């Protein structure tokens, strides 16, 4: 599988998908014009990755803001990861949030309550 690196823009997050290390990173702002189109390569990559995943997959999410349509797509990504976890693979989500950003902390907690994957809430202190 190929490495996927998508450079972030003011409207889209930086994406890094590495099947060799089992690491997935999403960082930045997520307010793309078409969220479904933007997140499709990630979902497709996860489908492929699920065929021969690493023993442990580490997901790092560090979003400063995301819109409603992105939240649905992010949930789709988490559902793919949940399927990996059900397949007896170790999946950990590191959810980063700024120390004063309660909305982003709550968003992580909301995802964790929906998806059966352990989340580590990591506060970023300036």
pLDDT in tens, 16-58: 999 999 999 999 999 999 999 999 999 999 999 999 999 999 9
Residue 126 binned pLDDT confidence (cut-offs 50, 70, 90): confident
Q: Which residues contact 109 (CB under 8 A, 6 or more apart)?
A: 119, 121
Give the three-class secondary structure for 13.
Answer: coil
Fold of 4-124: Transcription Regulator spoIIAA (3.30.750)
Which DSSP symbol is given to 125?
P
* Domain boundaries defined on the chain: 4-124
């Amino acid at each position: 599988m190929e490495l996927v690196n998508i450079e972030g823009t003011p409207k889209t997050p930086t994406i890094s998908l590495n099947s060799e290390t089992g690491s997935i990173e999403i960082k930045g702002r997520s307010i793309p014009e078409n969220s479904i189109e933007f997140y499709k390569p990630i979902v497709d990559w996860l489908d492929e990755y699920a065929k021969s995943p690493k023993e442990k997959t580490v997901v790092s999410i560090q979003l400063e803001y995301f819109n409603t349509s992105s939240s649905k797509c992010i949930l789709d990504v988490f559902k793919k990861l949940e399927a990996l976890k059900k397949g007896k693979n170790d999946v950990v989500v590191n959810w980063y949030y700024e120390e004063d950003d309660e909305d982003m902390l709550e968003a992580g907690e909301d995802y964790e309550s929906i998806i059966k994957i352990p989340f580590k809430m990591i506060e970023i202190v300036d």
